[in-house]
Structures are given as C-alpha cells and as structure tokens.
Amino acid sequence: MPENKTQPTDASVSDYIASRASDEQRADCAALMAMFQRLTGEPPTMWGPSIVGHGRYRYTYDSGRSGEACLAAFAIRGRELVVYLSCDGHDQQALLARVGKYKMGKSCFYFKRLADLDTAVLEQLVAGSIAEVRRKYG
C-alpha cells in the first residue's frame, strides 16, 4: 500500500510561518500553536511542506489502509487559515453554529482571522475533534 504523502518532517515551523504569513496571521498562528499544544501536550511539527501539526495518531480504515496523522493541525492558505477538524457529531455541529465567521469543507475549517471567531468555542471544537479521533483510533 502506498504511504501517505503528508508525513512529519524536520522542517522549521517558524521558517514556514515567517515565509507564508502576514503579520496578523503570524499572531493568529502563534495563538493556534499555543492552543493546540495545550490541548495535545505536544509541540508543533511540520507535516509535509505546509501543515503545522501537534501530536499524532495511527489509524486503520475498514479497507485496511493505515497511516499516521496529526491530532490537531492548521495551515496557511493564502489570505485564510485552515484548521483541520472532525466535526461530525451533534455537539460539534452545535459549536460550529456559534463559532463565528468561517467556511467549512469536509474537515477543513477556513477563516480569515481569529478576531472573527469566538476562540473559546474554537478551542471546544478542536478539543472535541481530538477526543473524537482518540475515541475512534485510540
């Protein structure tokens, strides 16, 4: 089976942020890293060239495909930041209704600035996502 393209690397998180982020995004990235480190107990690590992840877990799908991913992660995507979340449950959906201004893909939570969000609700979303991943994959 092929390996995942996104693997942890030795690249510098601070170099990535310095090269991609605006001044406002730098402050938001620092706040996200502090939040994710508090929730996971793990420092930031680059996953591939553009994802800042905290912690890791192993998964195996019903198909037999397995791999490793980060517990909590974000990336800089142009003018937006994206936080990777598991938001399938009723509680997570209720939190999304209260968090503020964002766009959502399948597991991608896009926003322009933390100032547009209720960061306490965002922290609950991230904590809920981590709990769901741990419940599902151990």
How confident is the model at residue 92, as a pLDDT? 92
Q: Write out pLDDT tens, residues 45-72.
A: 999 999 999 999 998 888 888 889 999 9
pTM over 0.95: no
The candidate with the shortest Cα–Cα distance to 81, out of 18, 1, 24, is 24
Domains and CATH numbers, the chain: 13-137 (3.90.1150)
Distances (CA, A) of 78 to 25, 43, 58, 81: 10, 24, 30, 8
How confident is the model at residue 56, as a pLDDT? 94
A 10 A CB-CB count for 69 gives: 20
| Identity at 41, one-letter amino acid code | G
pLDDT band at 2 (very low <50, low <70, confident <90, very high): low
Q: Write out pLDDT tens, residues 74-89.
A: 999 999 999 999 988 8
Joined together, the tokens standing for residue 93 give 């959906």
